[in-house]
């Protein structure tokens, strides 16, 4: 149900396409799907000139690395550390990751909306808070060898990590003009998956081959969560300015 004053008038965005397309070097009469030609790279260059967008990419790459690495290696870690069967380790991993992800996404989205009404960096601040709370929690969790306590703390860490799921993508919408948002979100996802969760299992595995899996997770997971939080904090310094710049372009 729309709240009065928040639903845009019909046609309010009709005038955006021409102005923003011109700013991004795109011919308004050109086909929508132009491929990876000069227009794409011109748009990409514009995106890289938005500091908050770069901070968002950094936060997502580091957080996806943590999520991808943990999802892949946690069952093996539970088997090695707590002498669980592979099946039981898989059930615990799935339940904790899915459950904490659902709770964290809802709570994080609500908190981000609440904070965004009070300050322009609210969404990034909530994302940063989740990462910076999750980093020490995961560190402590990996040092614990009591299974119930491990599961409880890991679930709390997973909830805080998931605070970013909605807000951080919404920030892209806040700082990128409508014409370039699909490209921006697509490139964000590409970087997050390619440099994050796709690379994490191999990197953690290489470290584990030279030490132990426990040490590999201990070295990478809290560190990358901390870096994700720092990236979002850096973004809080520029998001208000980038939001104003985006509004000027539409």
Residue range(s) defining the domain that contains residue 158: 53-248
- Residue range 239-247: mean pLDDT, rounded: 89
* Domain assignment of residue 27, yes or no: no
- Residue range 67-84: mean pLDDT, rounded: 94
pTM for this structure? 0.81
> Is the confidence at residue 24, as pLDDT, over 60?
no
* Domain assignment of residue 17, yes or no: no
> What is the percentage of the chain residues whose pLDDT exceeds 70?
84
> Is the confidence at residue 181, as pLDDT, over 70?
yes
* Domain assignment of residue 106, yes or no: yes
* Domain assignment of residue 177, yes or no: yes
* Domain assignment of residue 127, yes or no: yes
> Is the confidence at residue 33, as pLDDT, over 50?
no
* Domain assignment of residue 236, yes or no: yes
pLDDT of residue 206: 96
Let me know: does 76 contact 206? Beta carbons within 8 Å. no
More confident residue, 32 or 172: 172
pLDDT in tens, 82-107: 999 999 999 999 999 999 999 999 99
Task: Assign 245 a pLDDT band (cuts: 50, 70, 90).
Answer: confident
> What string of DSSP letters covers 161-209?
HGGGTTHHHHHHHHHS-GGGHHHHHHHHHHHHIIIIITTHHHHHHHHHH
Number of compact structural domains in the chain? 1
More confident residue, 23 or 145: 145
* Domain assignment of residue 5, yes or no: no
pLDDT of residue 247: 82
* Domain assignment of residue 200, yes or no: yes
What CATH number is given to the structural domain containing 133? 1.20.1250.20
Let me know: does 162 contact 100? Beta carbons within 8 Å. yes
pLDDT of residue 37: 45
């Amino acid at each position: 149900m729309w709240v009065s004053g928040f639903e845009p008038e019909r046609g309010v965005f009709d005038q955006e396409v021409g102005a923003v397309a011109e700013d991004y070097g795109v011919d308004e009469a050109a086909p929508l799907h132009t491929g990876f030609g000069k227009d794409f790279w011109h748009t990409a260059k514009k995106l890289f000139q938005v500091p908050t967008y770069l901070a968002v990419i950094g936060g997502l790459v580091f957080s996806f690395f943590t999520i991808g690495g943990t999802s892949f290696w946690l069952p093996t870690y539970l088997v090695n550390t707590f002498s669980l069967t592979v099946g039981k380790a898989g059930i615990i991993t799935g339940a904790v990751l899915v459950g904490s992800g659902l709770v964290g996404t809802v709570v994080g989205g609500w908190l981000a909306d609440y904070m965004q009404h009070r300050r322009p960096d609210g969404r990034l601040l909530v994302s940063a808070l989740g990462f910076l709370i999750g980093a020490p929690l995961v560190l402590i969790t990996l040092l614990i060898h009591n299974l119930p306590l491990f599961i409880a703390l890991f679930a709390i860490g997973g909830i805080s990590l998931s605070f970013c799921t909605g807000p951080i993508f919404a920030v892209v919408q806040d700082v990128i003009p409508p014409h370039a948002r699909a490209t921006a979100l697509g490139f964000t996802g590409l970087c997050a998956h390619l440099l994050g969760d796709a690379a994490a299992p191999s990197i953690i595995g290489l470290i584990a081959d030279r030490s132990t899996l426990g040490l590999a997770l201990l070295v990478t997971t809290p560190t990358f969560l901390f870096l994700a939080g720092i990236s979002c904090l850096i973004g809080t310094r520029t998001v208000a300015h980038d939001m104003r710049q985006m509004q000027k372009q539409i």
